[in-house]
Structure 1
């Protein structure tokens, strides 16, 4: 993947990165907005449900409290008090009379509290109930409550949904078990009152405040069992130990729960004050709660799709606009590659590409200057080389050499003539050096030796010479050609011209680390070392022609690294020292 990305054109990479950034920004914005909205809706829903749940708990508590109050009011009427006196006196003779008297009280109790379905009063002298209800004759109270009444420290006891064993009707009811109020400061034993409430009516109270069908309300024991049976199909999660632990943690709160089927639920719970073991629980599916956000999600996906299509269309225009100056610079480089150095970059922008373009213009200007300098340098090289060769084949030198060869031939000195011809041939061959500007010290010595031998033949008994090489490694050092010959020529033609005694030319070659020294010393007539005369020696006519050319060639090839030093005394001699770097 990385290799493919690197092989793409810059335009394609810009398009790809542009589309990636657009998709990334929209995705991050959309997802963040969705998550923020989802969390806000979830938090608000939990707070709203908790408020509704607390109101439902208050309503349920109020109904239960009213049932308790109505039951105790029943116990405070005179008829009930009279019956309790017979119970205390264990007088069963008035049973039917008391049963008849209590019918009005049972009827009034139902009228006061419509939630009450049946009422059952059990005593040692007999059981009392509304004659409209059909009781069981097989000791239903003992089966239903016999073990519970043996518990200590209770006055009221609540029971969730069940089928009552006290009456033959099998409808599910919720029950309240009460101990009687003390009568005439005497407590009564084995006297209990059971008030059964209609489960259906209690369910209506439970769900009466629901305004959202996606919310379910349950009245549960803290162990998860249902106090009022739910009409929902799957409520198995209510008995989950984890669920039960959550609703048992306190008197109210909320939490998130994931069912065994993987469904996320938002749970609110609140305990009843009339019976703290009963907890009202609100359950809502998170997916149902967030269902309105599906439209937002699809809207975000739609916007992302639209922006991607738009980005695909605009990316080409954007990349072309951004790369236009760069493509222009590229075309100019192609033209420069075709040796057109007159092109120049121009742009109305003042950006990084323009900065590169202007530097490109300056580079072209410098290249043109360098090309011109190279042309001038090459022209000067050729000119100075020609001058050096012209100096080497000076007509006066050739005339003397050929004239000497002629007279020696006439005199029969054929051996000398042959040697002169060989020396002249070698002189020319070494001077040409196959068209190369550079030679080595060994070849340069051979070249000047041939010249010296020819001059000795032309000017017999005029001078002698010797060549001293201090370090044998000097022979292999590369140097500019035809350096020694002009110096030797100057000694022969000018140093020994007016001198009667034998002339001596000494050539010394040494090296000092990375510098090579070529020294030519003669015992000629010498010259005045005034600055003007030295300059005239370089720039004058024939007598300084060779030395001036030598100085120019050294400057051209070595620059300031090379130097020519003169030391001369009149009637004593002259020493010329050339110092050049070893390359």
Structure 2
């Protein structure tokens, strides 16, 4: 994958990185926005659910409180007080009279609290009720509440949805069981009042404040059983695993998964009138977060639009960014075809422009270097020609040909033949097939032919020796280095010398340099004076040495050196040091 990325063009890499960054930023922004919106909507929805639940609890508590108050108000009436006196006196002779008197009170109770469906008063002297409500046999109370009333420490009891056995076919009701209030410091142990409320009316109270049909309110007992049944369908939350156990606190909320695998959000709050009854609101989490589907699709569409826009603009953007670079590239192609007059120009002041300006300076330097190289090559050719001219010096050539002529006249044909061969080899080795570089071995042969010709021209003038390490003979060096030095010894070192001259050529290696030394036992010279005369035109001695120094500098630079060591009437040593390449 990375190798493919490296092989891509710069434009494609810029496009790819640009698209990656845009997609990354858009994705992070979209996802974070969606998550933030989801959290806000969920939080607001939960707060709304809690508000609805609290309002419904308050309404239900108020109705239950009003029922309790209405029931106790019923017990404060004169008729009820008179009935309680008969109960205390065990006077059952006034039963029908009291029943008749209580009809008005029962009617007033229903008018005061419309939720009350029926009321039933259980006393030892007889049971009292509204004659319009079709009561059952007298034993119905004991069958329904006989065991309940035996529980100690209660004054009121609430019962959830059930079919009342006290009356005939009245439908399911919610019931309130009360003990009578104390009258004249007398308590009535066997007197109980049952107030039945229509379940349908209580259900209407439960659902009247619901603003969202997706939220379901339940009035449950803490064990999970239903106090008020829903109007449609059957819901038995007590069968849901772990549901009832979470209603152990007075108020709270939790999330659970129902039997169908749906995540449900639950809020609950106990009623203050009956803490065993809990108001529970249940809503599917999917329904609660359904508005997020629109937001999610909207975010996705916006992200896709931005990504497509980025894709469309990526090519335009990369082309605009690379325009100066492409221009610089075209100029480089022109330079490849040897057009060094092109120059980069840009109205921008950026990194590419900086590179372009350096490119312009580089072209200027290249042009200057071309001129310098051209001048150097011209100097090199000129010096080479001078070096070749030096070896065919007219004076030397004249002496050599003159010697050959007189030897031919004298019949010394072998010497003449040898001189012709030496002269021919001298010229051939000097030309070196037009190359500037030769080997140490060829350079030795060249100077040896020169010295043999000079020995023929100047008999008994000098002798020569050549000492060269075998490891040095294959090293490449600049041609015609030794001949000017030997010529200097012959023409100037032995000019006024009466004894036999001696020339020693020693070639050896010293670390990473090659040393060529020419030593003679000539008359010697003043080195300082010789250096001053080197630049004098027409001075043969200065001209040859100066030409040699220039050629060494052109070929080897400062790494090469030519040094004179001389002593008057003792001799001269010239050492050339050049680097081994």
Question: TM-score, normalising length from structure 2?
Answer: 0.91
SS in 2 for 1:497: coil
Q: Which runs of 5+ in 1 are unaligned?
A: none
Which residue matches 2:561?
563
SS in 2 for 1:525: coil
1:426-465 Cα offsets, whole Å, 9 max, x none, are 3233323343322333332222222111211221101011
SS in 2 for 1:132: helix
Contact 2:225 / 2:236 at 8 angstroms: preserved in 1? no
Contact 1:136 / 1:165 at 8 angstroms: preserved in 2? yes
Which residue matches 2:532?
535
Separation in 1, partners of 2:467, 2:232: 123
1:90-144 Cα offsets, whole Å, 9 max, x none, are 4444433333332222222112211111112223443322211122338333333
Moved over 6 A (4+): none
Contact 1:50 / 1:253 at 8 angstroms: preserved in 2? no
Separation in 2, partners of 1:233, 1:5: 63
Contact 1:518 / 1:579 at 8 angstroms: preserved in 2? yes
Q: Is residue 40 of structure 2 the alignment partner of residue 40 of structure 1?
A: yes
Q: Which runs of 5+ in 2 are unaligned?
A: none
Which residue matches 2:502?
504
1:29-84 Cα offsets, whole Å, 9 max, x none, are 33333332332232223223323322222221111111111112222333333333
Task: Go from structure 1 to structure 2 and tell me whether the alpha carbon gap of 1:375 and 1:243 turns closer, same or farther (over 3 Å shift).
Answer: farther
Contact 1:563 / 1:578 at 8 angstroms: preserved in 2? yes
Give 1:194 shift.
Answer: 1.5
Contact 2:116 / 2:197 at 8 angstroms: preserved in 1? yes
1:516-545 Cα offsets, whole Å, 9 max, x none, are 2222121223333335x4232354323333
The number of aligned residues is 580
Contact 1:272 / 1:279 at 8 angstroms: preserved in 2? yes
Which residue matches 2:481?
483
Which residue matches 1:79?
79
Contact 1:5 / 1:13 at 8 angstroms: preserved in 2? yes
Task: Go from structure 1 to structure 2 and tell me whether the alpha carbon gap of 1:85 and 1:352 turns closer, same or farther (over 3 Å shift).
Answer: same
Separation in 1, partners of 2:517, 2:552: 15
Separation in 2, partners of 1:535, 1:165: 148
Which residue matches 1:172?
172
Question: TM-score, normalising length from structure 1?
Answer: 0.91
Give 1:569 shift.
Answer: 3.2
SS in 2 for 1:127: strand
Task: Go from structure 1 to structure 2 and tell me whether the alpha carbon gap of 1:179 and 1:341 turns closer, same or farther (over 3 Å shift).
Answer: same
Give 1:309 shift.
Answer: 4.1
Which residue matches 1:360?
359
Separation in 1, partners of 2:5, 2:93: 107
Contact 1:441 / 1:479 at 8 angstroms: preserved in 2? yes
Task: Go from structure 1 to structure 2 and tell me whether the alpha carbon gap of 1:177 and 1:202 turns closer, same or farther (over 3 Å shift).
Answer: same
Give 1:327 shift.
Answer: 0.9
Which residue matches 1:474?
472
Task: Go from structure 1 to structure 2 and tell me whether the alpha carbon gap of 1:463 and 1:136 turns closer, same or farther (over 3 Å shift).
Answer: same
1:204-248 Cα offsets, whole Å, 9 max, x none, are 222222333333322222233222112354756675344434443
Give 1:484 shift.
Answer: 1.0
Which residue matches 1:523?
521
Q: Is residue 277 of structure 2 the alignment partner of residue 275 of structure 1?
A: no
SS in 1 for 2:226: coil
